[in-house]
Amino acid sequence: MNFPRMLPAFDNIPLLMKSSLLMLLLIGCLTYTSTTYAFQPAPEGTTTEPVEEEVVVEEAEEVVEEEAEEPVTLESVDEAVGAVRTETDLLWTCIAAFLVFFMQAGFALVEAGFTRSKNCVNIIMKNLMDFSIGSISFWAVGFGLMFGASPTGWIGTTDFFVDGMVDGVLDNWEFAFLIFQTVFAATAATIVSGAMAERTKFTSYLLYTIGITVIVYPISGGWAWGSLYNGSGWLEDKGFIDFAGSTVVHSCGGWAALAGAIVIGARKGKYAADGSVTPIMGHSIPLAALGVFILWLGWFGFNPGSTTSLDGGNFARVAVTTNLSAVGGCVSAMVLSWIMFGKPDVSFALNGALAGLVSITAPCYDVGLISALIIGLVGGVVCVLSVLFFDKLKIDDPVGAISVHGVCGAWGTLSAGLFAEEIINGTNGLFFGGGVSQLITQLIGIGAFFAWSFGASLIIFLVIKVTVGLRVSEEEELRGLDITEHGMAAYPYLQSLESA
């Protein structure tokens, strides 16, 4: 404020005093008027005294209400606290599900960024439809196969077309559990999209989406998680550890992606006749980076949310182990790429973060913080080496989905048998004096999921290939799937340049 500009107001002192007195007089008049009005008698014909009969009725109602109120007891307090706890668990489970749903945006951006601009519309459509169609098919059939009553522990037989009714009563927990498991099923489905990008028929991809959400994912998922609802699983009966889905979700999707990539073959121009690899660069690292950060955020729903309750605050510990593994994978992938290629490769660093996240998904509840960091560091290295290994085999995976989800999912599941600590969750891994028994159980689970997910998906893709066809024509692939499959372009001004 510029105070000197206010000084001229004090030049005419008499006028200032008269104005002040006038203001005080006006305020006094207003105060007197309001006070007088407040104490005026009521108009004739009205009374401020309550009618005697009304007083009697009101007093009687108060007595009845007091008698109707039950006395506060320990049982009533426990019941009230239990209700609050249940509703809080429902809220947390739903919030976690919403975070995992947002991972669909992350997957779409990562895949779009790591591929060419002429296929972005197709990629967006695939990620949109695998969630939409997958949600319907999982609600109708997949949920029952995964979590329905299973006398043998191999496949569920009840709870199809979930309606929320439990013993004739609407149970909101069933809805919370359904939406949480639905977004997990969609994650397994969308992993396949990246490995088969830029050359897959859209209709064929939709058919496979139904296959993975109705058959592949729910049947094997029930082996490890069936008892979370009405079912049971032969793997969980053996003590198999996969808290949030390194194998149940990620390896399942990764091995399915491997089957799809083998059946459909590599993109044109990826591998030369002499065996050399021609890199096909993605069109937008910023999009891919944004996708990774969204996925990283979503993982705080994926792993901590798998408690499906506040669980005494253990979700906070799981969030920390998740983050430490992610940063470990990011750093180790960057360092290894720097050593191998002479420059720190951002694409490997981004995938390294995802590798760390996938790796910790199975053991996140069972390991300490140092172990979590080590698991992530190893996961980042495994991811880089795995990507190079599949390129040697001429298995074309544009986004590294097989390595990030399949291979690192297997590593994460195995790591539970190495780093689990009894002081945390009752089981010791090999490195903490638990022997090899838990490690063997983890290996059985990894092998079972690979055999089922890869084998079943291979059959589905081969059936699609010989019936409706799996791959677009060479001309359509060259022009781009945006135009040939959907009749539009994500970047119209770039379309003619990239198609040349």
Give the model's confidence band at 77: pLDDT under 50 very low, under 70 low, under 90 confident, else very high: confident
**Can you name the residues that pair with 277 across neighbouring β-strands?**
271
Query: Does 15 have pLDDT greater than 80?
Result: no
**Residue 62: predicted pLDDT:** 57
Q: State pLDDT tens for residues 393-406.
A: 999 999 999 999 99
| Mean pLDDT score of the chain | 88
**Residue 357: predicted pLDDT:** 98
**Contact (Cβ atoms closer than 8 angstroms) between residue 414 and residue 446:** yes
Give the C-alpha separation, 442 to 415, whole Å: 9
Q: State pLDDT tens for residues 103-121.
A: 999 999 999 999 999 999 9
Query: Among residues 458, 466, 364, which one has the least CA distance to residue 415?
Result: 364
**Residue 22: predicted pLDDT:** 55
**Residue 38: predicted pLDDT:** 40
Give the model's confidence band at 273: pLDDT under 50 very low, under 70 low, under 90 confident, else very high: confident
**Residue 70: predicted pLDDT:** 65
Query: DSSP letter string over 1-67?
Result: --GGGGGGGGS-HHHHHHHHHHHHHHHHHHHHHHHHHHTPPPPTT--SSPPHHHHHHHHHHHHHHHH
Percent of the chain residues topping a pLDDT of 90: 78
Q: State pLDDT tens for residues 419-432.
A: 999 999 999 999 99
- The token pair at 121 is 């519309």
Query: Does 47 have pLDDT greater than 60?
Result: no
Instruction: Return the DSSP state at 471.
Output: B
Comparing 264 with 68, which gets the higher pLDDT? 264
Percent of the chain residues topping a pLDDT of 70: 85
**Residue 16: predicted pLDDT:** 41
Comparing 309 with 50, which gets the higher pLDDT? 309
- The token pair at 243 is 């808290």
**Residue 32: predicted pLDDT:** 46
**Contact (Cβ atoms closer than 8 angstroms) between residue 284 and residue 113:** yes
Give the C-alpha separation, 262 to 341, whole Å: 27
**Residue 21: predicted pLDDT:** 55
**Residue 18: predicted pLDDT:** 54
Query: DSSP letter string over 278-336?
Result: -----S-HHHHHHHHHHHHHHHHHHTGGGG-S-GGGHHHHHHHHHHHHHHHHHHHHHHH
Looking at residue 499, its amino acid is S
Give the model's confidence band at 496: pLDDT under 50 very low, under 70 low, under 90 confident, else very high: low
**Residue 48: predicted pLDDT:** 43
Q: What interhelical angle do 285-302 and 346-361 show, nearest 10?
A: 10
Query: Does 46 have pLDDT greater than 80?
Result: no
Q: What interhelical angle do 369-392 and 346-361 show, nearest 10?
A: 120
Query: Does 13 have pLDDT greater than 80?
Result: no
Q: State pLDDT tens for residues 85-103.
A: 899 999 999 999 999 999 9
Query: Does 27 have pLDDT greater than 70?
Result: no
**Residue 4: predicted pLDDT:** 38
Query: In this predicted structure, which of 206-210, 311-315, 352-356 has the lowest mean pLDDT?
Result: 311-315
Query: Does 10 have pLDDT greater than 50?
Result: no
CA-based torsion, 214, 217, 222, 223: positive or negative: positive
Query: Does 373 have pLDDT greater than 80?
Result: yes
CA angle 96, 101, 106 (to 5 degrees): 115
Query: Does 6 have pLDDT greater than 80?
Result: no
* Helix residue spans in 69-149 (DSSP H): 74-113, 120-137, 143-147
Residue 365's Cβ-count burial label (10 Å; 0-12, 13-18, 19+) is buried
Please tell me the class of the 78-493 domain: mainly alpha
- The token pair at 67 is 């008698």
